[in-house]
A and B are shown apart, each in its own frame.
Chain A
Amino acid sequence: MKKKLKIVILWVLISMILTGCWDKIEIEDRAFVMAIGIDLSSSNKRYVVTFQFPNAAQIAKGTSGGGGGSEKPSFAVSEVADTIFSASRHISTRIDKALYLGHTQAIIFGKDVVENRDRFQEVLDSLDRSYELSRKVYLLVTPQKAQDILLKKYEMEPNTGAYIRDIFKHYNRTSIFPKIDYNKITKSFHETNGNAIIPKIIAGKNEIKIAGSAIIKDYKLAGWMEDDENMGYMWLTELVKGGDVTITVPGDEEDIKVPFNISNVIRRRSVKEKNGKIIYRVKLDVEGDVTEYTFEKHGEMMKGDLLNVIERKTSDEIKKMTQKAINRFQKELKVDMLGIGDYIEKYHPSLWEKVRKDWGKIFPEVEIKVDVTSHVRRIGLFR
């Protein structure tokens, strides 16, 4: 009896094993999507979704040392569909491989998607629920069409997704775009109910450029931030991790442009309530090096108060940047993306109780004070 039972169980398990392998897809039969572009469609379906994936066969040739040949190193395919998910499925009617999104590095939104509140929310939701997509994906917005970026082949790195990822890797050399991945963006959307900053991408003729950012207010594109404004925002939100600030020091005949190479930033914040007015104070401690001055003044770096001048100028420059960002958010857009509400909620909960209900109205009235102290730590190899 017991033996028979054992045999039956064994038989069931073995038959299960033999009929198994439900999920097996050999690795060479998959297409590893590296970048996804999402645009709105002008036809009767809603989206144009573009998938870019590298041609594995081409990589194999590269590794075995053979010459490149005429094969394409990377493919990009577009599909028109009503939802993102159906696009990823329906596209399999046109390619010989199973799309796999687990290694996707970047998702690019065309301008029209971000401008349409409902569409953008649909897209975001589909990303949130996806179990294949990693939460370390980079989201980007382009003022062009996402399709245009992905359909091009770039000589430097034909695999566009990897290209974007690698640019993000060394973002702290410039700090001209925020390094925010999907995880942080979706967190921001959840916490502020629809506000976020997304890095901006544009395609040149032979390369791509990531710089600046798009401001999303209430799930809708509210504008773009460039250069100083963008960096000002990043100063205020502690996103600056490196890069440089160029300052102008008066020279003998002409002004000298001096780069201040940022090496460390510390931000301290405080909130005070004075006469019913909220004062939000940000203190930035910036450390860095001076890496260029001018040849004719070799040896003068140690003299006088040149370093003090440079430090002061740097502080002023940074302050100017932050002021631009504050103007944009507080005066123009009237939306709190500087984390002030969040700060008050956490550190001054009783104050938050008072203001939370009409924070939208109070925020533009908040007095934001920025103090910057800069320190030159190193001056290169010459005095």
Chain B
Amino acid sequence: MIKNNDKISANQVSILLFTTMVGAGILSLPADVSKEVGPNGLIAVFAGGIASLFFARMILYLSSKFPTETFVEYSAKLVTKPISILISIVLVFYFTIFVSLDVRIFGEVLKIYLLPSTPIETIIITMLFASAYLVRYGLEPIARMSEILFPIIVIPLVLLFLPAMSDIDLSNFLPFMRISLVKFFKGMLFTTYSFVGFEILYLLFPYVIDTKRLKKGVNAAIISTMLFYMYITFFVIGIFGYKETKEQLWPFLTLIKSINFPVFFIENVEGIVMGIWTFTIFSSIYSFYYFAVLTFSKLLKTREHSYFVLPAVPIMYLMALIPDSIVTVYKYAGYVSQYMSVFFIAILPILLFILLKVKRSGDSDEEKT
């Protein structure tokens, strides 16, 4: 087996972040925002992106203070060891949940659109094994995979929608900002589920070669994710209007089913989109999968993460099968994004930031070097 030195560049981090964030959320994002903020979905996505950028930079700042350590190690210095271990375990669990949720949603979508009688267990297990195959090789191939998938995901999706430009009714975005701020923030919160993924920055820092360019990389990643989401939200709401959008389970896929593509000889581009979307979800799954396993191996202080890759498959498989139906899947996804994501995205960084500042000011004389 080829040994990789497991160091990646800031550019790769940027692309890895993008492919991690863009995942299952893309399907339901327009419906989620339409439900809360009506025609102002675009602005909510924009605001969500900016907020995510803020917190991502905060996480980055925190980990840059401990350039050779991952979250598991440096959190122990900030919040005592037992609490750090507890949070790390939750973090492993958190990443694992995302793998399970993503793979479950993927299975459900696939079952509905492409393979109605294939057992979902088969879809889930094949997807997990495919991810495990990649995750076993470590961070460097993962980053490379993201680099390969990035253009495959972005270019066709961007191009596919262009012929639908004429169907857009810009008036669907009116009236402009006539909702209460509370509702707006709630809508913004819903977009965070789609931005989930930059938490991997907690762990990524020691594996980056050119850490100086990392700030730029994170900016680029989150802004491009935001633009990508805005692009899709723009088309979905622009064509359906928010009233229709919010009624749908996966407005993104419904949109694909309803656009006429006069340019293509293929009338139905669902096939292409499902194929691309498979890659999208794959890229999220392997990323969360890797970081779950990595965090776990850091917790146990083992040298190689690959020992835990295969044993994780049955766990994720069983977790993915816990929800009874697609309704419960989204209920759980809601809980996770509302409680756990908010904790890891917002509360934890702020908390750690304050602790860091307090500690630093406490022993500033020693630290100054």
Chain A residues within CB distance 8 Å of chain B: 5, 9, 13, 16, 20, 22-23, 131, 134-136, 183, 186-187, 190-191, 343, 345-347, 349, 352
Contacts and interface: CB of A to CB of B under 8 A. Distances in A.
Given A5-B310, A16-B122, A349 B244 contact: no
B247 interface: yes
A187 B244 contact: yes
A337 B191 CA distance: 34
Contact of A190 (B117, B119, B244): B244
Contact of B243 (A131, A191, A347): A191
Interface of A is mostly: helix
Nearest 5 pairs between A and B by C-beta? A349-B175, A346-B174, A135-B258, A183-B258, A22-B118
A9 B129 contact: yes
A191 B254 contact: no
A345 B175 contact: yes
A9 B172 CA distance: 51
Contacts of A16: 122, 125-126
Given A23-B115, A131-B113, A346-B171, A187 B178 contact: no
B115 A22 contact: yes
Contacts of A9: 129, 310
8 contacts: A5-B310, A23-B117, A131-B116, A136-B257, A183-B258, A187-B244, A190-B243, A190-B244
A165 B369 CA distance: 76
A22 B129 contact: no
A205 to B, nearest CB: 32
A135 B240 contact: no
Contacts of A347: 171, 174-175
Given A346-B174, A347-B171, A135 B116 contact: no
Interface in B245-263: 247, 254, 257-258, 260
Contact of A346 (B114, B122, B175, B244): B175
Contacts of B113: 131
Interface string B119-130: 100100110010
Given A22-B115, A131-B112, 14 more contacts: A16-B122, A16-B126, A20-B122, A22-B117, A23-B117, A23-B118, A186-B244, A190-B247, A191-B243, A343-B171, A345-B174, A346-B175, A349-B175, A349-B178
Nearest to A9: B129
Given A23-B115, A187-B240, A136 B174 contact: no
Nearest to A346: B174
B112 A191 contact: no
Nearest to A352: B175
A136 B258 contact: yes
Interface in B91-120: 112-119
B364 interface: no
A188 B122 CA distance: 39
A236 to B, nearest CB: 16
Contacts of B126: 13, 16
A22 B117 CA distance: 6
Contact of A135 (B112, B129, B254, B310): B254
B268 A134 contact: yes
B244 A191 contact: yes
B241 interface: yes
Nearest to A339: B171
Interface string B165-180: 0000001101100100
Residue from A134, A346, A347, A352 with most neighbouring chain B CB atoms (10 Å): A346
B8 to A, nearest CB: 27
A9 B260 CA distance: 43
